[in-house]
Protein backbone atom coordinates (compact mmCIF):
# COMPACT_ATOMS: atom_id res chain seq x y z
CA UNK A 1 0.00 0.00 0.00
CA UNK A 2 1.47 3.36 -0.95
CA UNK A 3 1.83 6.29 1.45
CA UNK A 4 -0.97 8.34 -0.12
CA UNK A 5 -3.48 5.51 0.38
CA UNK A 6 -2.25 4.97 3.93
CA UNK A 7 -2.89 8.66 4.68
CA UNK A 8 -6.36 8.52 3.11
CA UNK A 9 -7.33 5.43 5.07
CA UNK A 10 -6.07 6.98 8.29
CA UNK A 11 -8.03 10.12 7.53
CA UNK A 12 -11.20 8.08 7.00
CA UNK A 13 -10.68 6.23 10.28
CA UNK A 14 -10.35 9.58 12.05
CA UNK A 15 -13.60 10.90 10.57
CA UNK A 16 -11.85 13.18 8.14
CA UNK A 17 -10.45 15.69 10.57
CA UNK A 18 -7.01 15.61 12.18
CA UNK A 19 -3.88 13.66 11.31
CA UNK A 20 -1.19 13.27 13.97
CA UNK A 21 2.43 13.41 12.79
CA UNK A 22 5.14 12.50 15.31
CA UNK A 23 8.68 13.85 14.80
CA UNK A 24 11.02 12.37 17.39
CA UNK A 25 14.71 11.67 17.93
CA UNK A 26 17.14 12.92 15.30
CA UNK A 27 16.06 14.10 11.88
CA UNK A 28 17.80 11.75 9.49
CA UNK A 29 18.86 13.30 6.19
CA UNK A 30 21.02 11.99 3.37
CA UNK A 31 23.30 10.02 5.70
CA UNK A 32 22.01 6.99 7.59
CA UNK A 33 22.35 6.96 11.37
CA UNK A 34 23.06 3.90 13.50
CA UNK A 35 20.45 1.29 14.38
CA UNK A 36 20.62 2.33 18.03
CA UNK A 37 19.59 5.92 17.23
CA UNK A 38 15.93 6.89 17.24
CA UNK A 39 15.33 8.81 13.99
CA UNK A 40 12.66 10.46 11.89
CA UNK A 41 13.49 9.95 8.22
CA UNK A 42 12.74 13.07 6.24
CA UNK A 43 12.14 11.16 3.01
CA UNK A 44 9.15 9.54 4.76
CA UNK A 45 7.78 12.79 6.19
CA UNK A 46 7.92 14.89 3.00
CA UNK A 47 5.53 12.76 0.88
CA UNK A 48 3.31 12.27 3.94
CA UNK A 49 2.90 16.04 4.30
CA UNK A 50 2.09 16.37 0.61
CA UNK A 51 -0.51 13.59 0.91
CA UNK A 52 -2.08 15.24 3.98
CA UNK A 53 -2.36 18.56 2.16
CA UNK A 54 -4.05 16.86 -0.81
CA UNK A 55 -6.34 14.57 1.20
CA UNK A 56 -10.04 15.39 1.04
CA UNK A 57 -10.64 13.60 4.35
CA UNK A 58 -7.94 15.19 6.52
CA UNK A 59 -8.66 18.78 7.55
CA UNK A 60 -5.99 19.52 10.14
CA UNK A 61 -2.45 18.50 11.12
CA UNK A 62 -1.17 17.96 14.67
CA UNK A 63 2.63 17.72 14.97
CA UNK A 64 4.06 16.19 18.14
CA UNK A 65 7.72 17.13 18.62
CA UNK A 66 10.43 15.64 20.81
CA UNK A 67 13.64 16.09 18.83
CA UNK A 68 17.35 15.70 19.47
CA UNK A 69 18.61 17.72 16.50
CA UNK A 70 19.81 16.08 13.31
CA UNK A 71 20.35 17.04 9.69
CA UNK A 72 19.75 20.78 9.32
CA UNK A 73 18.90 20.69 5.61
CA UNK A 74 16.41 17.85 6.13
CA UNK A 75 14.81 19.60 9.10
CA UNK A 76 14.45 22.85 7.20
CA UNK A 77 12.88 20.98 4.27
CA UNK A 78 10.21 19.55 6.58
CA UNK A 79 9.66 22.93 8.23
CA UNK A 80 9.23 24.67 4.87
CA UNK A 81 6.57 22.18 3.78
CA UNK A 82 4.66 22.58 7.05
CA UNK A 83 4.82 26.37 6.81
CA UNK A 84 3.50 26.23 3.23
CA UNK A 85 0.41 24.16 4.01
CA UNK A 86 -3.03 25.73 3.62
CA UNK A 87 -4.67 23.34 6.07
CA UNK A 88 -4.65 24.26 9.77
CA UNK A 89 -1.53 22.99 11.50
CA UNK A 90 -0.52 22.94 15.15
CA UNK A 91 2.71 21.88 16.83
CA UNK A 92 3.13 20.64 20.39
CA UNK A 93 6.63 20.43 21.89
CA UNK A 94 6.91 17.57 24.37
CA UNK A 95 10.10 16.73 26.23
CA UNK A 96 12.53 18.65 24.07
CA UNK A 97 12.93 20.64 20.87
CA UNK A 98 16.64 20.49 20.18
CA UNK A 99 18.27 22.65 17.48
CA UNK A 100 16.28 21.96 14.29
CA UNK A 101 13.24 21.27 16.48
CA UNK A 102 12.87 25.03 16.96
CA UNK A 103 12.03 25.86 13.32
CA UNK A 104 9.88 22.72 13.14
CA UNK A 105 7.80 23.99 16.07
CA UNK A 106 7.58 27.51 14.67
CA UNK A 107 6.56 26.28 11.20
CA UNK A 108 3.03 25.35 12.27
CA UNK A 109 0.25 27.89 12.14
CA UNK A 110 -0.08 27.65 15.93
CA UNK A 111 2.54 26.35 18.36
CA UNK A 112 2.20 25.00 21.89
CA UNK A 113 4.77 23.79 24.39
CA UNK A 114 4.23 21.64 27.48
CA UNK A 115 5.24 23.45 30.69
CA UNK A 116 7.98 20.88 31.39
CA UNK A 117 9.33 20.81 27.82
CA UNK A 118 12.59 22.47 26.80
CA UNK A 119 14.01 24.03 23.65
CA UNK A 120 17.76 23.99 23.00
CA UNK A 121 19.14 26.73 20.75
CA UNK A 122 22.74 26.72 19.56
CA UNK A 123 24.81 27.58 16.46
CA UNK A 124 25.07 25.18 13.53
CA UNK A 125 27.56 22.39 14.19
CA UNK A 126 29.05 19.56 12.13
CA UNK A 127 30.35 16.20 13.29
CA UNK A 128 33.24 14.64 11.39
CA UNK A 129 35.99 16.04 9.21
CA UNK A 130 35.81 19.78 8.51
CA UNK A 131 37.98 21.45 5.89
CA UNK A 132 39.39 24.56 7.54
CA UNK A 133 39.00 27.03 4.70
CA UNK A 134 37.03 30.30 4.53
CA UNK A 135 34.42 28.69 2.26
CA UNK A 136 33.53 26.20 5.01
CA UNK A 137 32.91 28.91 7.58
CA UNK A 138 30.93 30.95 5.06
CA UNK A 139 28.78 27.89 4.35
CA UNK A 140 28.03 27.43 8.06
CA UNK A 141 27.21 31.12 8.40
CA UNK A 142 24.75 30.95 5.48
CA UNK A 143 22.99 27.87 6.89
CA UNK A 144 22.73 29.53 10.27
CA UNK A 145 21.31 32.67 8.68
CA UNK A 146 18.64 30.56 6.97
CA UNK A 147 17.60 29.11 10.33
CA UNK A 148 17.52 32.52 11.99
CA UNK A 149 15.42 33.99 9.19
CA UNK A 150 12.97 31.08 9.22
CA UNK A 151 12.46 31.08 12.98
CA UNK A 152 12.05 34.84 13.29
CA UNK A 153 9.70 34.94 10.28
CA UNK A 154 7.42 32.25 11.76
CA UNK A 155 7.49 33.25 15.42
CA UNK A 156 7.32 36.40 17.53
CA UNK A 157 10.97 36.20 18.58
CA UNK A 158 13.18 39.05 17.37
CA UNK A 159 16.34 38.42 15.41
CA UNK A 160 18.45 40.04 18.12
CA UNK A 161 16.98 37.87 20.87
CA UNK A 162 17.32 34.65 18.87
CA UNK A 163 20.97 35.38 18.06
CA UNK A 164 21.59 36.15 21.71
CA UNK A 165 20.10 32.81 22.75
CA UNK A 166 22.06 31.00 20.06
CA UNK A 167 25.44 32.46 21.03
CA UNK A 168 25.05 32.55 24.82
CA UNK A 169 28.25 31.37 26.56
CA UNK A 170 27.01 31.44 30.16
CA UNK A 171 24.53 28.57 30.30
CA UNK A 172 25.84 25.37 28.69
CA UNK A 173 28.96 23.94 30.33
CA UNK A 174 30.45 22.35 27.20
CA UNK A 175 28.70 24.24 24.43
CA UNK A 176 27.44 27.60 23.21
CA UNK A 177 23.73 28.30 23.29
CA UNK A 178 20.68 28.25 25.56
CA UNK A 179 18.12 25.88 27.00
CA UNK A 180 14.76 27.50 27.65
CA UNK A 181 11.69 25.88 29.15
CA UNK A 182 7.99 26.14 28.41
CA UNK A 183 6.98 29.44 29.96
CA UNK A 184 10.20 31.19 28.93
CA UNK A 185 9.81 29.98 25.34
CA UNK A 186 6.41 31.69 25.25
CA UNK A 187 7.72 34.86 26.89
CA UNK A 188 10.46 35.15 24.28
CA UNK A 189 7.99 34.65 21.44
CA UNK A 190 9.40 31.38 20.10
CA UNK A 191 6.19 29.51 20.93
CA UNK A 192 2.65 30.90 20.90
CA UNK A 193 1.24 29.31 24.06
CA UNK A 194 1.77 26.93 26.93
CA UNK A 195 -0.50 23.97 26.42
CA UNK A 196 -1.24 20.29 26.38
CA UNK A 197 -2.71 17.86 23.91
CA UNK A 198 -6.26 19.00 24.59
CA UNK A 199 -5.32 22.64 23.92
CA UNK A 200 -3.73 21.75 20.59
CA UNK A 201 -6.73 19.67 19.55
CA UNK A 202 -9.15 22.40 20.64
CA UNK A 203 -7.33 24.87 18.42
CA UNK A 204 -7.46 22.58 15.38
CA UNK A 205 -11.11 21.65 15.87
CA UNK A 206 -11.92 25.34 16.23
CA UNK A 207 -10.13 26.16 12.96
CA UNK A 208 -11.93 23.31 11.18
CA UNK A 209 -15.30 24.38 12.59
CA UNK A 210 -14.65 27.96 11.47
CA UNK A 211 -13.83 26.75 7.97
CA UNK A 212 -17.20 25.00 7.78
CA UNK A 213 -19.07 27.89 9.38
CA UNK A 214 -19.90 25.95 12.53
CA UNK A 215 -20.00 27.35 16.04
CA UNK A 216 -17.96 25.11 18.30
CA UNK A 217 -17.24 25.69 21.97
CA UNK A 218 -13.49 25.64 22.62
CA UNK A 219 -11.31 25.81 25.69
CA UNK A 220 -8.63 27.53 23.62
CA UNK A 221 -8.45 31.34 23.83
Count the Cβ atoms, other than its own, within 10 Å of residue 35: 6
Report the alpha-carbon distance of residue 66 to residue 17 in Å, rounded.
Answer: 23
Of 58, 54, 53, which is closest to residue 10 (Cα–Cα)?
58
Measure the CA–CA gap between 63 and 82, rounded to whole angstroms.
10
Question: How far from 82 is each of 22, 46, 74, 77, 161, CA to CA, in Å?
Answer: 13, 9, 13, 9, 24
CA–CA separation, 140 and 220 (whole Å):
40
Q: How far is CA 96 from CA 38, 104, 145, 158, in A?
A: 14, 12, 23, 21
Write the CA distances from 36 to 21, 25, 28, 40, 62, integer angstroms: 22, 11, 13, 13, 27
Residue 26, H or E segment: strand 18-28
Give the residue numbers annotated as catalytic, written as ranges.
Answer: 99, 122
State the Cα–Cα distance between residues 152 and 154, nearest whole angstrom: 6
Amino acid sequence: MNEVNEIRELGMKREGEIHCLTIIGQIEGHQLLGDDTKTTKYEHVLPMLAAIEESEEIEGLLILLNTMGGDVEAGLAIAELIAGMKKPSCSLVLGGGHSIGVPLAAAARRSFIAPSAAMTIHPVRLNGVVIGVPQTYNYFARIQERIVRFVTAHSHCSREEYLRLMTNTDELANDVGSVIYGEEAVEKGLIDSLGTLSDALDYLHGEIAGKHGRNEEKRFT
